[in-house]
Structure 1
Amino acid sequence: MAVLPLRKLGDPVLRTPAAPVGALDARISELVTAMYETMDAAGGIGLAAPQIGVGLRIFTYDAMGSRGAVINPELVSVGPIGPTPRDADHPAEEENLLREGCLSVGGVYSPVDRAQRVVLTGTAPDGAALRIAAEGLLAACFQHETDHLDGRLFIDRLTGEDRRRAMRTLRETAAPSPPTGVGAGSSFFAAPPAAPHSGPRR
């Protein structure tokens, strides 16, 4: 499976809430494989399906020694809100704050207020039910990716000087044109996916 083009800021698919996944068929398995390969090739710790132009509620992740894919994810519990520290022993130090970036938003890195602990539920590609407790970087990753599935980007959560700095960086950076051809829209699939049934949604 080839590495697929990444959608960039300005592409409407990144602002469109993704649809729940219905049947876990071979196309979903192929999509997850492509997402892993694309995430790894880009050096990311997470990738949501809309970032490769597929409007389905799936993301892959690889952070803090934990790697997997979650279908129809839902955050069912969240802990205290605040910037994510790199080192939990020194959470209040500005230089210790994790600065989020995004494969779809080039050049912008900033602390983001996130829940420090979360519980995520969903379904694995093999159909197994998932319930994952996460904290720190992994919790931030789960929230970042579920935001993608709701049509939201991490820059939307920035305020004050962090937001002004991000907007300035974006103005100074030429936005790439959305890709066309293979990987564009839902063209990952040979045919449009079947209408999804209702499922967990965030």
Structure 2
Amino acid sequence: MAILPIVEIPDPRLREISKPVETFDAALQTLIDDMFETMYDAPGIGLAAIQVGEPLRLLVIDLQESVDEAEDDKPGPKNPRVFINPEFSEESDETNVYAEGCLSIPDQYADVERPARIRAKWLDRDGKAHDEVIEGLLATCLQHEEDHLNGIVFTDHLSRMKRDMLLKKLEKQRKQTRAA
């Protein structure tokens, strides 16, 4: 496995619409494994393929919440999930607000409102179809990552003033990092 470079704003690749995955081969399995490795290293809880420069409708998520409480204190993957060619329907009228961040916009966070519950259809890493109602943090994370597949970043959900402030903070942070 390899840690891949993460594409950061304002890279124009983040605005690309990703193409559906059509081939489930060894190269796809390697990309999935590399995406998990990259996400855990960053660290993050979700990563879309376009964020590592691959315009494919593929994303990985691990909320770092164990299925088994005995596993909670152990480092490493807890519940890694792969979503290929995800589609949403039946978004709830009820919403949740989470302070979202993004590996492509490092160390910046803002409250984003999204549907609290969605019906999602997707394929897993083996090409098996899933259809599930998803809610809570997983629904938020899945919507955030799926936005990436459509060329949308979480700052697009903010007011112009909040977006501009966040991007100015990011640029200031980058200048300080370069000066150090």
Q: Which residue of 1 aligns with 2:102?
A: 102
After superposition, the Cα gap between the structure-2 partners of 1:8 and 1:160, relative to the gap in structure 1 and judged at 3 Å, is: closer
Amino acid at match of 1:30: T
Amino acid at match of 2:12: P
Q: How many residues align?
A: 163
1:167 to partner: Cα distance: 3.4
Q: CA RMSD in A?
A: 1.9
Q: Which residue of 1 aligns with 2:80?
A: 67
Quote the Cα distance in structure 2 between the aligned partners of 1:70 and 1:113: 22
1:144 to partner: Cα distance: 0.3
Quote the Cα distance in structure 2 between the aligned partners of 1:30 and 1:36: 10
Quote the Cα distance in structure 2 between the aligned partners of 1:48 and 1:15: 12
Contact 1:107/1:169 (<8 A) preserved: no
Deviations 1:121-154 (A, max 9, x none): 1101111101232212111100000000001100
Amino acid at match of 1:13: R
User: Which of 64, 72, 77 in structure 1 is aligned with 2:90?
Assistant: 77
Q: Which residue of 1 aligns with 2:139?
A: 139
Quote the Cα distance in structure 1 between the aligned partners of 2:139 and 2:111: 14
After superposition, the Cα gap between the structure-2 partners of 1:160 and 1:56, relative to the gap in structure 1 and judged at 3 Å, is: closer
Q: Which runs of 5+ in 1 are unaligned?
A: 85-97, 177-202
Quote the Cα distance in structure 1 between the aligned partners of 2:90 and 2:62: 21
Quote the Cα distance in structure 2 between the aligned partners of 1:76 and 1:151: 19
Contact 1:82/1:112 (<8 A) preserved: no
Quote the Cα distance in structure 1 between the aligned partners of 2:4 and 2:160: 35
Quote the Cα distance in structure 2 between the aligned partners of 1:24 and 1:125: 8
Quote the Cα distance in structure 2 between the aligned partners of 1:147 and 1:120: 14
Q: Which residue of 2 aligns with 1:22?
A: 22
Quote the Cα distance in structure 1 between the aligned partners of 2:6 and 2:167: 21
Quote the Cα distance in structure 2 between the aligned partners of 1:81 and 1:43: 30
Structure showing greater relative contact order (alpha-carbon pairs closer than 8 Å, 6 or more residues apart)? 1
SS at match of 2:50: helix
Q: Which residue of 2 aligns with 1:6?
A: 6
Q: Which runs of 5+ in 2 are unaligned?
A: 67-78
Contact 1:17/1:149 (<8 A) preserved: yes
Contact 1:81/1:113 (<8 A) preserved: no
Contact 1:82/1:116 (<8 A) preserved: yes
Q: Which residue of 1 aligns with 2:70?
A: none
After superposition, the Cα gap between the structure-2 partners of 1:83 and 1:161, relative to the gap in structure 1 and judged at 3 Å, is: farther
After superposition, the Cα gap between the structure-2 partners of 1:77 and 1:50, relative to the gap in structure 1 and judged at 3 Å, is: same
Amino acid at match of 1:126: D
- Of all paired residues, the percent bearing the same amino acid is 39
Q: TM-score, normalised by structure 1?
A: 0.74
1:164 to partner: Cα distance: 4.5
Q: Which residue of 2 aligns with 1:46?
A: 46
Q: Which residue of 2 aligns with 1:196?
A: none
1:83 to partner: Cα distance: 4.0
